Copies of this chain bind each other. A is one copy, B any other.
Amino acid sequence: MNHLDMLKTHPRNTTIDPKVLSDCIEECLACLDACNSCADACLGEQQIDMLRRCIRTNLDCADACQAAARMLARQTEPSWALLRAQVQAMELACRLCAEECEKHGKQHEHCRICAEACRRCEAACTRLMSSLPAQA
């Protein structure tokens, strides 16, 4: 499924750019999957001791993305202030997780792939933030 096709069928019109919104939701789902997978791959690594912080940031990022993916997909009676707050939390979670994963990207391919997913999601959040209405 392409999220944009689904978004176009919603009975209520959104004031946000549908492409920017759909891209963000898709990056969000990909990031949640990457983070959840990377946490588990780290858990299976010999050198798990160096990866504790990575597992923690992965789990936090997955949780922030999951909440945001669900909230952003809703177009009925939105609160822009709440969406802004949740996207801001997710954007920060993505940046922190990307920074941590990038430290391990040379040794662990899963960290490299996860860092990329986090950076794409972070960029999608930044674009969405400038597209979200300022008022409540």
Residues of B within 8 A of A37 (CB): 3, 6-7, 10, 73-74
- A128 touches B (CB below 8 Å): no
Residue on B with the closest CB to A26? B33
Q: What are 10 A-B pairs with beta-carbon distances under 8 A?
A: A6-B38, A6-B114, A9-B108, A11-B46, A48-B52, A56-B77, A63-B66, A64-B67, A82-B92, A85-B88
**Residues of A bordering B, CB below 8 Å:** 1, 3, 5-7, 9-12, 25, 29-34, 36-38, 40-41, 43-46, 48-49, 52-53, 55-57, 59-60, 62-64, 66-67, 69-71, 73-79, 81-82, 85-86, 88-89, 92-93, 96, 108-110, 113-114, 116-117
